[in-house]
Each structure stands twice: as C-alpha cells, then as structure tokens.
Copies of this chain bind each other. A is one copy, B any other.
Amino acid sequence: MKITGIIVEYNPFHNGHQYHIEQARAITKADVVVAVMSGNYVQRGEPAMFDKWTRAKEALLNGVDVVFELPFAMAVQPGHIFAEQAISLLHAVGVDTIVCGAEHPDYQFMQLAQLPIDNHRAFTQYQQTYATTFYQELADQSGIEIQLPNDILSLSYAKAIVKNGWTDTINLQPIKRINAAYHQTALPSGSIASASAIRKHNVSAVLQYVPEQTAVDLLNSTRTSDFATVWWPFIQYRLQTAKIEELRVIYQVSEGLEYKLKAAVEQASSYAEFMQLLKSKRYTNARLQRMVLYVLLNVTTKQMQQTLAQPYLNLLGATPVGQKWLRQVKKQVTIPLFSKIGAQAKQGIFALQYQVDQVFTTIGNQSVQNIGRIPWRINDSTTLQ
C-alpha cells in the first residue's frame, strides 16, 4: 500500500492546493494521501483565517484522504522545526513518500541536506539572521543558492529525513509549484492565486481560484477577527500587565527582548508600528511575529518543551479510503492518536493546544475547537455526514 504525505496550511484551501494533491497522487500512485495541517495558528505566527475544522473539511472534499492537525507547538515554529515536526508525524503513521512544492524541484535536496554546514558560525553572526548565514555557506559549498520559500522548506524536509536516519524509509518528491510566488498579493488571470492574495481580496474577486467548499466557507463561515485590529488591544493589554519576569519565561523571549516588547508597546499606536519597533537585523519578521504570538498566548519555554517531548496525532477527518487505512494505523502507531478530544484534554499532553485554541475562540470569535468535536467522516458521495 502506497501512502503519500503532504505538509500544508491551507489558509485557505485553493485550486493550487487541489492541483498539488492531484499531482502528488499521480506521481506517487498513492493509495492514501495524508496531510498534516497547521491548526488554528499558522507557521508565521498568525491565526488562520478559518479554524482548523473548516480548513480540514475543504481539504477532505478536494482530494486529501486524511487530515491530522500539526499541533501549535510544532506548527508555530521556524521553518526547520516546523518541517522536522511535520515529517516526524508523517513518519509515525508510516508514509513512504512526501510530496512537497518547490520553486526548483530539480535541486537535489536530499544531497544538499547532507552537506556539512557549520551551525556554530551561523549562530554567532549577529548582524544577520541565522538563515541568511546558513544559506550563504550552503551556496559556498554547493554552488546552489537556496532563496525561495518552497525551496527552503523542501531542503528542511530533506534535512529532517537525514537527521532522523529515515533516508531508506521516506522518499522526498519535490514538484514544481505552478503559481508565481508564495506571497504575491495581486490576483492573476487563470484559476490559481496565492493564499495571501485570496485572503486579501473580497469573496467575489476570488471565487475563480477556489473549489466549491472554500467558496461556501468564504461566503458563510466565521472568519477569524482581524489580527491587526481586533487582536491588537489584547497584545497591548498583555504587555501592559505582564511583568518582566513573566515575559522572560515565554518561549523565544530572550536576549533582552522582554524589555524591548514592553518599550515597543508603550510607543506604538498600531500593530504595524509595534512590529516595526521590534525589528532589527538579527530577527526576521516571522520570528518576531511568532514571539509576539507566544507572548499573547502565554506559551512558556517549559510548556513548549514538554509538549514537543510528547508528540501525538489529532485527527481532523478522513474520507472512506482514509477511514479504512486509519483502522490499520491505529493498531500500529506508537504515539497517541486522538479521534475525539474529551474534557481531560485540559490537562496533559493536549493542554497547550487547548489553551491556545481557547484564545482563538475568544479573540478570534470562533466556535468550540476541541472538546467534543468529532472528526469529519466524508462519505462516498463526498457530502459531509
């Protein structure tokens, strides 16, 4: 049985994603396509526009057989940790191939991943980000300049496979991304646009780029309240009341950033200005935005470490093919697999996810996210049961 894994955010699900799934299935001749998908917060440190259930449904009605949540602790991370954690979940359920989008699918990512890069040098170059230094050294050694976001992610997947010694069990299959650029916000002709562009335009302007279920959700589902307006007073409130020692225990708040956060919130009159005040050469915008989100959600280093030390799978839904395969997986998988979250989830290994999703519900204006929610079971006529 051929099991193909994909690592996704679907913020929201669009035609480009559907095309990617079709290609993945065709190239790998997969019996089952399994996605691990960022939950209510995406990798760059923002709430997703729709909740995880809405986005999982979109995926299941458009070619994915099983959707697992990539938990907060794994998803809201620098790319290389995001990649490593997602790969580890896909490995846990026994996928044999991972298909990923890349700007240059012809690059030999698995070979590049095995080059000896001096991490120490990268970490001590304080005038530029870690990533910049890393890719410079990679270019020096290989002659290949990895610069584009999906190439970078593909390399991260490769490195995770190499690091874990899974080169014999997992095959990485990069495929060409067909839309022009990841963060392009203008709407192109044709039927494929970036998720950023789709988020930024009115529903009527984007219907041509999304399948039916996403169109229905754009028209009817509750979007998460706008981060820069509705969430911003909560960030202000949090930083105005938090003590320095309370900020210092937050994940990624180090090197005096606790003082900088307090000072920036004093000065800033908007979220954009606040982020501008935090910026320095040492940190990327995404790094800073994730840090602000950790602060807002009160995610401590200790919680993050504890959560990452106890990986689990949270099922968001499956098609009939996926449901059949899951019955096998449940017998074999060695980490906990939740297919319904009970009230006991407030403590234990699901506690951090519960905490951050509660805030998503409160500030994001969303329905209950966990306790009592039953994964989608898509039936053969592709309607929801």
Contact = CB atoms under 8 A, between A and B. Distances in A.
Interface of A: 233-234, 236-237, 240-243, 246, 266, 296-298, 300, 346, 355, 358-359, 362-363
Given A241-B355, A355-B240, A355-B241, A362 B233 contact: yes
A41 to B, nearest CB: 14
A237 B240 contact: no
A262 B297 CA distance: 16
B240 A358 contact: yes
25 contacts: A233-B362, A233-B363, A234-B234, A234-B237, A236-B362, A237-B237, A237-B359, A237-B362, A237-B363, A240-B355, A240-B358, A240-B359, A240-B362, A241-B296, A241-B297, A241-B298, A241-B355, A241-B358, A241-B359, A242-B298, A243-B298, A243-B300, A246-B246, A246-B298, A266-B346
Contacts of A346: 266
Contacts of A355: 240-241
Copies, count = 2
Contacts of A298: 241-243, 246
| A-B pairs, 4 with minimum CB distance | A241-B298, A240-B358, A236-B362, A237-B362
Contacts of A233: 362-363
A234 B235 CA distance: 11
A137 B359 CA distance: 47
A246 B247 CA distance: 12
Given A233-B362, A234-B237, A241-B297, 4 more contacts: A237-B362, A237-B363, A240-B355, A241-B359
Nearest to A302: B243
A355 B241 CA distance: 6
Nearest to A242: B298
A233 B296 CA distance: 14
A247 to B, nearest CB: 12
A297 B238 CA distance: 9
A355 B359 CA distance: 23
Nearest to A239: B358
Nearest to A231: B237
A361 to B, nearest CB: 8
A242 B297 CA distance: 9
Contacts of A241: 296-298, 355, 358-359
A367 B77 CA distance: 37
A298 B241 CA distance: 6
